[in-house]
Amino acid sequence: MKPGEPDDEPIRLVTVDEANRLLPRMRRLLSQLQDARRQLLEVQQKLAERYHGGPRANGHASPKSERARLTMSSEDAQSQISAAVAAIRELGGELKDPERGMVDFRTERDGRVVYLCWLMEEPRVVYWHEIDAGYRGRQRLED
């Protein structure tokens, strides 16, 4: 963000316990997001193959109704993706990697804002990192 620009939304800080309570909903949202991404990629591939110079069955173009159906399917998947990302954000998460199911939560640690870092495969939040450190800077939380 540049100086003078308004904040999009206030920074929401989440405790480790709060983040852990959110994980069942986060898992569902990430699963929906990943399903919608797969659907979108499949539809985009079909559209590219059939309508943008890719191979066509018997050398004939597919009917317009199929193109309309694929386009609607693409729009539906994009809408599902947007809704899942918005829901993750509303819960206080920041989507970092949809493919891996990585979400960060802002929290306060030693008087500064840092990220709690969670992967969908992890049973609970057990890592944190500095805001500018990224995944490679993950450190284990003290138990």
Share of the chain above pLDDT 90, in %: 71
pTM over cut 0.95: no
Check residues 76 and 51 and name the one with the higher pLDDT.
76
Q: Where are the domains of the chain?
A: 16-140
d(CA 105, CA 91): 9
Residue 118's nearest CA partner among 142, 132, 97 is 97
Q: How many CA atoms lie within 13 A of 115 on its CB side?
A: 20
d(CA 52, CA 82): 26
pLDDT digits (tens, 9 = 90+) for 82-136: 999 999 999 999 999 999 999 999 999 999 999 999 999 999 999 999 999 989 9
